[in-house]
Amino acid sequence: MNASKRCFGNRLCGSSLARVVLFAVLCPVCLLVCGSRGAHFSQTASSADKGDATATRMLNAIVRDFSDTHPDFEDGISGVVKGLVQSNLAPDNKPVFAGPNGRGAIRSQEGFNQWFNDVPAVNQKITRSLELRETKPGSGIFSFESSAFFPIDNQLLGNQGRTHNYHFTLEVHDTFTFRGGEMLKFKGDDDLWVFIDKRLVVDVGGVHAVASGSVKLDTLGLTVGQSYAFDLFFAERHTSQSNFELQTSIALEANQPPVVSAGPDQTITLPASANLGGSATDDGVPAGGTLTVSWTKVSGPGDVTFANPNQLATTAAFGLAGTHVLRLTANDSLLTSSDDVTITVNSIPGVNQPPVVDPGPDQNITLPDGATLNGKVTDDGLPAGGTLGVSWSKLTGPGTVTFGNANVATTTATFSEAGTYVLRLSGSDTASITSADVTILVRPAGEANQAPTVNTGPDQVVSVSGFGTLNGTVSDDGLPVGGTLTVSWSKVSGPGVVTFVDPNRPVTSVTFCSAGTYVLRLTASDSLLTSTDEVTIEVATTPPVFPLTPGPRVQSAVRGNA
């Protein structure tokens, strides 16, 4: 099995956060030992719970970035306006704009619906973890504070020419068990809405200066010992400042990503299908969330048809023999995990199969150089007496393409002018034809190689025995021609062992087996030039182990062979 667990997130450091004071008594999550599979986002408590150090907690948040051209951002200051959202959450656990249009500097219901939903070409999102610190050892009061709440500076859509990224929304979805006597207070700007049991309990809407709101949970008619949903929505919509203070004694329970297994690898022979039967287990958080699963093709020749791609137990039919990688993905409404499985598909003895065509990897070249095309075309030798024919052709591109020999898989191509070209390699066995494409980026003459651009992302605070997520980025100019861009994570300093899930990807997960301060380095090389960037990770001490509530959601199925 090719495991490829993917969970999205990053840490929100105390120094880079908003004027937030988040006080909470949180029920810690049962965590796995260091180096084992565990949560990428952890709500943790240090040994301060025993009175000997500062305790910390983590809450997961989704942050969405918006352009200042959005009609609800950077287009008016309304002051505090209550009643901008309806008193109950919608069935999808999102707030509903109460209207009328224009009130609270919100131009329309359509625009507001984009605040807390993924909308291509309108917003981009990232997952952050909010760290809370206990104000005094053993006090049970936890604080998350910053006088400048700018968690996505220079990320996603960028700062748009400003000192900070001022246009974003944030949401947190968790659950808690009511104990009696809890409270919550907010002070800050701009919009802040808190829902408990899907009901609006704190309402500080509008684009405004620092304002406050609060609630005592004893006034809500909650039942002691009963679990309830906690949903928080925040928007920063205007330049100049971002203040945020939140105090609560609610025992929030942080969401963990689903645990996914696509099952063992398989070998089948056409025309049989593969019986897929993975498993997906979730912690039941966020409250009201739905665990969904989907199968997709990652790689392999030809088409793959799933009987039902949204069921764990399903079948996959393959159009061509070869090696196929399929992915099972699970989503709990907020966090996503995935796992891969390899299916080796053998052809039917004596039955003709179409040729298998591989045009080779995409390329970047610089004029006057040409491209070396390393294509491959293989066939099963059928039909009897048939001849395997190969041909290259230009599909798209601004100029003329001249092939050294257009009728062999491995050849050369020269280009009359710069631009992006798509070339097609086709193979025919006289009974059937298969084609595949390769993209060639042709640069103008005289461009000089530049070193890769590397960014490790902001500094972080994580917990020992939990996962941190490294959100590095690497970009390159595609030079030198024929060069390969490689990346690697390494430990520069720190007191203990650091384990990278995949040290050769800029976005990966990392675990630490000792508390302390670590410096990690991301290195990128284009074969000639190398660049690096470093990030500092503060690792808190090991949390105690407590049971997680509510109970798990589990989907599972037993795999069989076709």
pLDDT of residue 250: 86
Residue 251 confidence class, pLDDT cut points 50, 70, 90:
confident
pLDDT higher than threshold 50 for residue 552: no
pLDDT of residue 128: 83
pLDDT higher than threshold 90 for residue 479: no
Which of the two residues, 95 and 132, has the higher pLDDT score?
A: 95
141 token code pair: 């009061």
494 token code pair: 């720190």
Whether 259-350 and 368-443 share one fold: the answer is yes
Return the closest-CA partner of residue 146 out of 11, 248, 21. 21
Fold of 453-540: Immunoglobulin-like (2.60.40)
Say if domain 259-350 classifies as CATH 2.130.10.10.
no
Q: Report the range of poorest mean pLDDT among 133-137, 161-165, 334-338, 438-442.
A: 133-137
What span, in angstroms and rounded, lies between the C-alpha atoms of 147 and 375? 57
Q: Residue range 4-30: average pLDDT?
A: 32
Please say whether the dihedral angle defined by the alpha carbons of residues 178, 60, 330 and 344, taken in this order, is positive or negative. Answer: negative
**Which amino acid would we find at residue 97?**
F
pLDDT higher than threshold 80 for residue 287: no
pLDDT of residue 248: 84
Which CATH code, of 3.30.230.10, 2.40.50.140, 3.40.50.970, 2.60.40.10, is assigned to 368-443? 2.60.40.10
Strands 363-366 and 486-493, sheet pairing: unpaired
The residue ranges of every structural domain in the chain are 10-253, 259-350, 368-443, 453-540
Indicate the helix (H) or strand (E) that contains 305.
strand 304-306
CB of 9 closer than 8 Å to CB of 507: no
Q: Report the range of poorest mean pLDDT among 191-195, 237-241, 306-310.
A: 237-241
pLDDT of residue 466: 52
Strands 433-443 and 419-428, sheet pairing: antiparallel
Q: Residue range 275-295: average pLDDT?
A: 87
